Amino acid sequence: MNDRHDWLVALSQAIGTLAHWEGQFASAQPRSPSAQDKAVLNELALRLHGNYPFGSPDYAGQMLKPPDPVAWAAVALAMLVNPNNHALDGGPPTAAMEREVVAELAGLFGFSADDRPWLGHLTASGTIANLEALWVAREVTRSPDGRIRGVAASASAHYTHQRVSGVLGVPFFTLPADNDGEIDLPALPQFLLQHDIGTVVVTLGTTGTGCVESLHRVAPICRQAGVRLHVDAAYGGFFRLLAELNPPQVGNAQAFLATGLADSLVVDPHKHGLQPYGCGCVLFADPAVGRVYVHDSPYTYFTGNELHLGEISLECSRAGAAAAGLWATLQAVGLRGPGSLTERLALGRRAALEWYAALKSSRWFCPLVEPDTDILVFAPQHPDGRALRASEISDLSARVFEQGMQGDDGPIFLARMRWPVERLPASMAVQTDVSEVQVLRSVLMKPEHAAHWPALNARLHALIERAFAT
């Protein structure tokens, strides 16, 4: 709490600097907090106790963690002005910040190599960013007679692609998969010939297992077939920083190094970019796709002759505070160097690999896939090697999940996931009485997990032993 108090002091000082600027203008003064205001805020704090402790290393469930303090302080400061990054007069400073941070992201992913022109902006989320990318793809891949061509993605891709395709009225296809559930590369060329597909989606860091699909192998196939390539790096995109290291510290590093081959790419700074929710990003390799965004407004784009961000965004009003938060984080924390985002990602990645190795030697659990990023998926197994029914595996997973949150030794927060029985490792003895099992999943996206995973592992094993005993 002392650290948080220090950040509040820093924020208070920054508010004083902002107040000096505000004092130059006649403006409405904010009202002083009343007793009712204070009571409501206290009640809000009490109601927030109902959340799981996302900032604790004991929380290793879903993709949730607090933003970096400099990000939330910057967002809070900018919200006092409440800029709107649509037209330039809605927030000239934060519009400039947005251009700066998006340019830095474009450089990270190879979109701006050799000063190559590109197009991009922040969005409210990865879902909106993917919506924009597939909307643009729909328009630029129409056949000469105006027919809409389809979108194809793997079964491991985020469900948003199929949903967005439905919203856009675009046919959706599930790509053929190999025995590991990955895109079947030998079957892909024929599949593209047999179906009217305009865009293929490749995921760098699936939200289920963190799997990194082989962009570097899919890209030439799409190029040969004349098919557009969209990369969903919403979750895993920042792991490109680990791919750049020597040796690389992420699975399938070649895929990350091939992002410059994409026609469009989405990344979520509000996941591994340390931002609060409300900060996605979409990038386009060809700035000519800006023609898809062309629209008119009789009262909006009059301040300056520069391109207004609203002219290349599907959203209209967008919080300039999101750009301020990301700008401050990239300035203070940075992508590379000591204490940077690279170091923080490496710690979570190390936690996943070390815990995976420990589970491989466990009698009680079997990891289902070697992690590419920082997500770990594992299933209970009989400690004596005897076969369990698939439904028993689901029941054990449910018990560990539920009892973990009520642990006498302190809670442990995991997540659950559905998994096809046919894709369970051959080393697991399983009697197939259902086609799917529920397994356990952990997202180790906090740097603290590098030191804390052994404690999580110990409690996990205590829970499974108790589940077998009962």
One domain for residues 242 and 371: no
Write down the pLDDT at residue 100. 96
Instruction: Tell the residue number behind the tokens 């303090």, with chain if given.
Output: 69
DSSP 380-436: E--TT---EEHHHHHHHHHHHHHHHTT-TT---B-EEEEEEGGGS-TTS-EE-SSSE
Q: Is the dihedral of CA 290, 292, 293, 296 positive or negative?
A: positive
Q: Which of 108, 166, 149, 148 is nearest to 283 (CA)?
A: 108
One domain for residues 320 and 347: no
One domain for residues 273 and 353: no
Round to the nearest angstrom and report the end-to-end CA distance of the chain.
Answer: 40
Q: Is position 59 within any domain?
A: no
Q: What CATH number is attached to the domain comprising 142?
A: 3.40.640.10
Write down the pLDDT at residue 25. 82
Q: Is position 299 within any domain?
A: yes
One domain for residues 319 and 437: no
Q: 167, exposed or middle or buried, with CB in 10 Å at 0-12, 13-18, 19+?
A: exposed
- Domain final residue pick, 332, 349, 384: 332
Q: Is position 183 within any domain?
A: yes
Q: What CATH number is attached to the domain comprising 448?
A: 3.90.1150.10
Write down the pLDDT at residue 31. 83
Domain residues for the domain of 155 are 88-332
Q: Is position 64 within any domain?
A: no
Write down the pLDDT at residue 301. 65
One domain for residues 242 and 319: yes
Write down the pLDDT at residue 304. 65
One domain for residues 196 and 173: yes
Q: Is position 454 within any domain?
A: yes
Q: Is position 7 within any domain?
A: no
One domain for residues 124 and 153: yes
Q: Which of 193, 188, 192 is nearest to 213 (CA)?
A: 188
One domain for residues 215 and 240: yes
Q: Is position 427 within any domain?
A: yes
Cα(172)–Cα(153) distance, rounded to whole angstroms? 8
Write down the pLDDT at residue 2. 63
One domain for residues 224 and 364: no
One domain for residues 147 and 263: yes
Q: Which of 276, 268, 272 is nearest to 325 (CA)?
A: 276
- Domain final residue pick, 307, 332, 357: 332
Report the domain count for the chain: 2
- pLDDT under 70: residue ranges of the chain: 1-2, 28, 299, 301-305
One domain for residues 195 and 288: yes
DSSP 43-61: HHHHHGGGS--TTSTTB-S
- Domain final residue pick, 282, 306, 332: 332
One domain for residues 403 and 316: no
The whole-angstrom distance between residue 266's C-alpha and the CA centroid of its chain comes to 9
Write down the pLDDT at residue 130. 97
Q: Is position 56 within any domain?
A: no
| CA contacts within 13 A on the Cβ side of 224 | 11
Write down the pLDDT at residue 208. 93
